[in-house]
Structure 1
Amino acid sequence: MTTVSLIGAPTDVGASVRGAGMGPDALRVAGLAEALRAHGFQVIDRGNLSGPPNPWQLPVHGIRHLPEVTAWNRAVFDAVATALAMGHVPLLMGGDHCLAIGSISAVARQCRQEQKNLRVVWLDAHTDVNTEAISPSGNIHGMPVACLLGYGPPDLVGWSGERAALDAGSIDFVGIRSVDADEKQAIRQLGLQVFDMRHIDEHGMRYTMTEVLQDVDENTHIHVSFDLDCLDPIEAPGVGTGVRGGPTYREMQLCMEMIADTGRIGSIDVVEINPALDVRNRTAELAVEFIRSLFGASTLAR
């Protein structure tokens, strides 16, 4: 029986709006553990990690809260690495998206040790490829991909054993529709594969996910980093940086189901749920539905 380790990281230290630190408990209230158990998984809730409070300070050298972000990500890295070493599927409950630095670095290290190919599917309205040199805000939740590619501050790179936890070909972005001006140039220079909303509008989610998953094989570990602002805010109002025009409920369900069909899902981030901006916990409940699909729930037996 597959064991899923739930790891709560209740912080908004990398975000621009307060509230994402309540995300882990919102997922618990929405019945995440119960939903996975009902689908046949063993679930261990590891509780919430601890870390420094959000000091809510201005940027220093183009970056906000670097010591606090580093501390939270170290805690995430250790917890995810421990779950992977036990053969569990770590499910990080954020918290803001800066936490992907720690989680994906731990996954990348494990994949190198096991000689597996890592594929990250980044579901988000934003590409998060800013650096301290180009970020308009200095918020680190807009920088995790750059850090994972080896272009962040020294405190946040190299945790996987290599300077870059990922290469450009190991990550695919889905649902993108908000990219800062300098980020656009960085994406082009890095050669990143971005399936923005225009691509989904023109080709559909099925074709898009076929492209994303076309070279996944039995030696692939898929990590899904799911920012709830990937969805349209009409569907998911409880996010700090909502952007209109995201995938519909059915498009996101199909995305998750196609990832599940590969049988290669190995680790997950679920981040940026902000209950302070939500309506009756709707966004967390949606997240639970999508996670169920990611773990193989479907209308019919397939």
Structure 2
Amino acid sequence: MNVHILEMPLDFGASRHGSDMGPSAIRLAGIKEKLESIGHTTYVHTDIFKATAQEYEKPGNPNAKYLKPIVRACNKLASSVEIITSEGDFPLVLGGDHSVVLGSLAGLAATAKKTGQKIGVLYVDAHGDFNTNETTPTGNIHGECLAASAGLGLPELTNLYFDGQKVDPKNICFVGSRDLDPGEKKLMKEAGVTVFTMSDIDRQGFDTVVEKVKTFFKKVDIIHVSFDMDCLDPMFAPGTGIPLPGGLTNREALLLMEEIATTGKVKSAEIVEVNPILDVRNQTAILAVNLAARLLGETLY
């Protein structure tokens, strides 16, 4: 398969700096070589977004900080993703903060619109990212990006790349959630997303949750996987912007990627929030490489 690695050194969506260096850390961890070793042909795109320092930009709207540069960057990403997916190739987006999902989903949705396919989203994240400008406690767009993709929030975000909803919230499935704001929790319930929290995993067992996730996606034609490294316990992924104890283990995350790959429906993905400033010997970026490989077909035997 042709895999296009799209580097998005965007950290305007978050409060803590450093995730803009995530793509280079994943590159240094050997993403290209790893994917080629399992039979893929890779194409690297480093020119989609040229970052200017966040300190030199004005935040603007306090409830949607750095809205303009984020919209500009994500429109460019969406265009690239649409071109890649229209040709039947696989875009693998490396963030950056999670606001890049706005562009990834907009591009995939544009292709799906032309082909009449239904999109599902596997959102592996400690957080919901389902706030809007009215519920956000921080004003950081990485906490509003999925709600916007589902049609909720500011028009500049909901209508990014093309007008209207990019994914039906009833086709969104969360895994690993453990830190949801009150406002976004209410919106998530009203929108009808499916959520498997860490408590659900503890109660039901990880194998049961994985099987339920695979069953959930039987109703869609294509799947976008959005993987935030903060879903992992900091013991396994210390290099991320908002580390929270009690997350997934590395083995659980790798298995989830391997299992979702067996559906044959995964057509695009992103791995975000690798922050090498906070990492230890680049172990978070190395794990990101292995997660991508499992998602793209690698098995242990």
Shorter-chain-normalised TM-score: which range?
A: over 0.9
Match of 1:296 in 2: 297
Give, in angstroms, the shift of residue 86 of structure 1: 2.3
Instruction: Give per-residue Cα distances to partners, 1:118-171, cap 9 Å, x unaligned.
Output: 111001000100111111110000011110111121111124645111112111
Give, in angstroms, the shift of residue 51 of structure 1: 4.0
- Asked if residue 29 in structure 1 is aligned to residue 20 in structure 2, the reply is no
Match of 2:155 in 1: 154
Runs of 4+ in structure 1 deviating by more than 4 angstroms, as ranges, are: 56-59
- Any idea what SS the aligned residue of 1:34 has? helix
1:51, 1:75 within 8 Å by CA — same for their partners in 2? Answer: no
- Asked if residue 142 in structure 1 is aligned to residue 143 in structure 2, the reply is yes
Instruction: Give per-residue Cα distances to partners, 1:30-73, cap 9 Å, x unaligned.
Output: 00010000000111112242245243455625221111111111
Match of 2:48 in 1: 49
Match of 1:243 in 2: 244
Match of 1:84 in 2: 85
- Any idea what SS the aligned residue of 1:234 has? coil
1: CA distance, partners of 2:299 / 2:51:
40
- Any idea what SS the aligned residue of 1:268 has? strand
- Any idea what SS the aligned residue of 2:262 has? helix
Give, in angstroms, the shift of residue 268 of structure 1: 0.5
Give, in angstroms, the shift of residue 217 of structure 1: 4.8
Paired amino acid for 2:34: A
2: CA distance, partners of 1:186 / 1:117:
22
Q: Percent identity?
A: 36
Q: How does 1:1-302 map to 2 (within 5 A)?
A: 2-51=1-50, 53-56=52-55, 57-58=58-59, 60-159=61-160, 161-217=162-218, 220-300=221-301
2: CA distance, partners of 1:180 / 1:218:
29
Q: CA RMSD in A?
A: 1.6
2:170, 2:191 within 8 Å by CA — same for their partners in 1? Answer: no
1: CA distance, partners of 2:156 / 2:212:
34
Instruction: Give per-residue Cα distances to partners, 1:251-290, cap 9 Å, x unaligned.
Output: 1121111111112210011111011111111100001111
Unaligned runs of 5+ in 2: none
1: CA distance, partners of 2:62 / 2:23:
31
Paired amino acid for 1:251: E
- Any idea what SS the aligned residue of 1:4 has? strand
2: CA distance, partners of 1:115 / 1:18:
39
1: CA distance, partners of 2:293 / 2:200:
26
Give, in angstroms, the shift of residue 10 of structure 1: 0.8
Unaligned runs of 5+ in 1: none
Q: 1:74 to 1:161 in 2, by over 3 A?
A: closer
1:108, 1:160 within 8 Å by CA — same for their partners in 2? Answer: no
2: CA distance, partners of 1:94 / 1:66:
17
1:10, 1:48 within 8 Å by CA — same for their partners in 2? Answer: no
Give, in angstroms, the shift of residue 21 of structure 1: 0.5
Give, in angstroms, the shift of residue 222 of structure 1: 1.2
Give, in angstroms, the shift of residue 106 of structure 1: 0.9
1: CA distance, partners of 2:161 / 2:167:
9
2: CA distance, partners of 1:219 / 1:199:
23
Paired amino acid for 1:108: A
Give, in angstroms, the shift of residue 216 of structure 1: 3.7
1: CA distance, partners of 2:96 / 2:216:
31
- Any idea what SS the aligned residue of 2:74 has? helix
Give, in angstroms, the shift of residue 247 of structure 1: 0.8
Deviates most, 163-172 or 208-217: 208-217
TM-score (norm: length of structure 1): 0.94
